[in-house]
Amino acid sequence: MNVKTLLRILAAGVLALLCAAPAAAVSPARETGDSIRISLITCWPGREVYELCGHEAVRVRTTGTDSVWNYGTFDFNAPNFVYRFVKGETDYMLSSYPFAWFMPEYIGAGRRVVEQELNLTPDEARRFLDLLRKEALPANRTYRYNYVRDNCATRIVERLDEALGEKAVYTDSIHYGTFRREMRAFHGDYPWYQFGIDLALGSGLDRPLRGREEMFVPLDMMRRVASARRSDGRPLCSKTTVLNEGVADATAGPTPRLLTPMAVALAALALTIILCVAELRRRRAITWWRVVYFTMCGLAGCLLCFLVFVSEHEATSPNILIIWLNPLQLITAIAFTTRRMQPVRTAMSFYNVVAVGALLLVWPFQPQSANPAFFPLMGCAVALGASYAIIRGRAGYNNSGRRTVAAKPRGANPRSPRKAVGKSK
């Protein structure tokens, strides 16, 4: 067992203990209201995909204590975690622990950390802390996480409003416009991650947003808090401090262009066109690429159907991509492995030409935004379907012609029976 593995096991054990009794870790004797100082802690993006939008937490300092309250913890070892996460049953927890335990992770990763101390009255600070303590109790600490509506940032915004007894006034200027555009702004160097999001999540991510709704990203929340005001005009943030300068970019860096989804999609389309031209010249279908392509489309379609019809994620349905990616494409791949399913090959080829081709044509006129790499990949389905339909059409025409010729007997016309020829006397 190496040192890194040992540290991970130790960290998991510590987290388990914290989640077992989050409130007890930082529950000192009753403080006076004017001794409570509450701050928002914003952490810049990191290397992991779940760190790309940053992280938000609450820091509470009282006489003799300094704690962090973190809505972003979860138990990866919970039963059926992956299945339940995909299904939409994403249970996160609020946990609290000494602030000194919070910072080393971000310092070690080179992530910038900024603290914004809130301009609260003693009574407001007391209410905020009481809300956190109540929500950190074992019976209350678990909540149903939602990536854009109920996460580590939006929860804090809501609790702050409760503590204030009113809604803080944030700038309502729109920077991104939709959830998907805001995600793309932070996922630019991770194009495969964004490709998966664009595949799995439908038009719910593309509705117009108000300014407050864009605060689901911690960095945008920090920017708006900096200029926010109370109803009486007082600033919401009284002091801003950089706790860790970090590096300019703590993410893994951009994906090489030749390995991006668009590069792979264009390569797949180029290969498809080359093979279609070759098979049209040979007048014989090339099946191996169809098996590979439609197997991938069918498997993606099975996942998409699960997300649309079973998952509880609100943004997975409706998803117009199901016209292209659905389990029928898996049947298409199977049909090209045997001649007995010739009618299925033909029917699905016409389906891909008509349905997927129509999808490409109407896409600019419907609300769902697409990943640019989708269009070359959909073009593959249309090209493969059209090529096979042309080959089958030619084969049917030629076979019809051969049957007509074969029906004519050799020799004399059958309507004019041959006369008997004999010797004359």
> What does the pLDDT look like over 219-251, one tens digit per residue?
999 999 999 999 889 999 999 999 999 999 999
Strand order in the sheet with 91-98: 142-144, 91-98, 65-73, 55-62, 37-43, 113-118, 237-244
| d(C-alpha 151, C-alpha 217), whole Å | 9
Dihedral sign, Cα of residue 47, residue 49, residue 50, residue 54: positive
CB 116 within 8 A of CB 226: yes
- H or E segment and range at residue 161: helix 154-164
Q: Residues 87-92: contacts with CB within 8 Å, 24+ apart?
A: 87/310, 87/311, 87/312, 88/311, 88/312, 88/313, 88/316, 89/144, 89/312, 90/144, 90/145, 90/146, 91/142, 91/143, 91/144, 91/145, 92/142, 92/143, 92/145, 92/151, 92/152
End-to-end Cα, the chain, rounded Å: 117
Q: Strand pairing partners for 70?
A: 95
Q: What is the pLDDT of residue 265?
A: 98
pLDDT at 417 over 80: no
> What does the pLDDT look like over 123-152, one tens digit per residue?
999 999 999 999 999 999 988 888 888 999
- The mean pLDDT of 26-30, rounded to a whole number, is 46
Output the 3-class SS for 121-156: CHHHHHHHHHHHHHHCCCCCCEEECECCCECCCHHH
405 pLDDT band (50/70/90 cuts)? very low
pLDDT at 120 over 50: yes
Q: Strand pairing partners for 55?
A: 43
What is the DSSP secondary-structure string of 324-335? TSSTHHHHHHHH
What is the DSSP secondary-structure string of 404-415? HHHTSPSSS-TT
What is the DSSP-derived secondary structure letter of residue 18?
H
Q: Strand pairing partners for 62?
A: 65
Q: What is the pLDDT of residue 399?
A: 59
Q: Strand pairing partners for 240?
A: 116
* Cis peptide preceding 409, ω within 30 of 0: no
193 pLDDT band (50/70/90 cuts)? very high
Q: What is the pLDDT of residue 78?
A: 65
400 pLDDT band (50/70/90 cuts)? low
Token representation of residue 225: 């808090």
> What does the pLDDT look like over 54-96, one tens digit per residue?
999 999 999 889 999 999 887 666 666 566 666 767 788 999 9
Between 180 and 26, residue with greater pLDDT? 180
> What does the pLDDT look like over 248-283, one tens digit per residue?
999 998 999 999 999 999 999 999 999 999 999 999
Q: What is the pLDDT of residue 312?
A: 79
Q: Strand pairing partners for 97?
A: 68
| d(C-alpha 71, C-alpha 314), whole Å | 21
Between 1 and 206, residue with greater pLDDT? 206
pLDDT at 2 over 50: no
- The mean pLDDT of 29-47, rounded to a whole number, is 82
| d(C-alpha 235, C-alpha 240), whole Å | 12
What is the DSSP secondary-structure string of 81-105? HHHHHHHT--EEEEEEEEGGGTHHH
Return mean pLDDT, the chain: 86
19 pLDDT band (50/70/90 cuts)? very low
| d(C-alpha 168, C-alpha 156), whole Å | 12
> What does the pLDDT look like over 279-318, one tens digit per residue?
999 999 999 999 999 999 999 999 999 999 988 777 888 9
Share of the chain above pLDDT 70, in %: 81
pLDDT at 195 over 60: yes
> To 5 degrees, how large is the angle CA 180–CA 183–CA 189?
130
Token representation of residue 296: 């991938």
pLDDT at 411 over 60: no
Token representation of residue 424: 């004359």
Most distant CA atoms of the chain, gap in Å: 145
Instruction: Provide the 10 A C-beta neighbour count for residue 191.
Output: 22
- The mean pLDDT of 184-212, rounded to a whole number, is 93
Domain boundaries, the chain: 19-174+210-244, 257-396
CB 388 within 8 A of CB 293: no
R_g over Cα of the chain: 32
Q: What is the pTM of this model?
A: 0.82
pLDDT at 110 over 60: yes
Helices (H), 317-408: 328-335, 342-351, 357-362, 374-406
360 pLDDT band (50/70/90 cuts)? very high
Q: What is the pLDDT of residue 276?
A: 97
Residue with tokens 């991510």: 205
- Give SS3 for 77: coil
- Give SS3 for 380: helix
* Cis peptide preceding 318, ω within 30 of 0: yes
Fold of 19-174+210-244: endopeptidase fold (from Nostoc punctiforme) (3.90.1720)
Token representation of residue 121: 């009255």
